[in-house]
Amino acid sequence: MINLITVDSVSSEIKEEVSVIVCGQKLTCFASYLPYEVKVGGVYSAELLPVIFDNYIVEEVDFSKPKIVRKGLGYSYDFIGKLKDGCIYCGDLVFCDDVLLTDFGFLDGKLISWKIDRLDILFSK
């Protein structure tokens, strides 16, 4: 899903690290490809892409509020939100994945936690 994002910071140490603000959330992402130079404070169209390296870890949870929680200093997150038709709704942010539909469809309509190994960002051209 394409979102309007505001660039909050660009790491001077790790050229692929970009922190953005989208829908009121500050997220630190991995940008393996930048089609143009992004500037702090700039507003861009971009897609946030959850990346899973090995196994999907999805669990039903009892939390009452959807949220996105960064794990450590890297790019991994726990997405907590309602699962519907293969998409997890974390407040105003929505992330879809075919595996959520095919392998975890039995949790449809439930509040879940989905562990993401890396959150990538793809800036639109």
Domain range annotation of the chain: 2-123
Q: Is the pLDDT of residue 4 over 90?
A: yes
First to last CA, the chain: 15
Residue pair 15/38 in contact (Cβ under 8 Å)? The answer is: no
Dihedral angle over CA of 44, 34, 99, 23, nearest 10 = -20
**pTM for the whole thing?**
0.91
Q: How many other C-beta atoms can be found within 10 angstroms of the C-beta atom of residue 88?
A: 26
The CB-side HSE value for 85 (13 A sphere, CA atoms) comes to 1
For 42-80, write each residue's pLDDT tens digit. 999 999 999 999 999 999 998 778 999 999 988 999 999
Select the more confidently predicted residue: 86 or 33.
Answer: 86
Q: Once rounded to an integer, what is the mean pLDDT over residues 97-112? A: 96
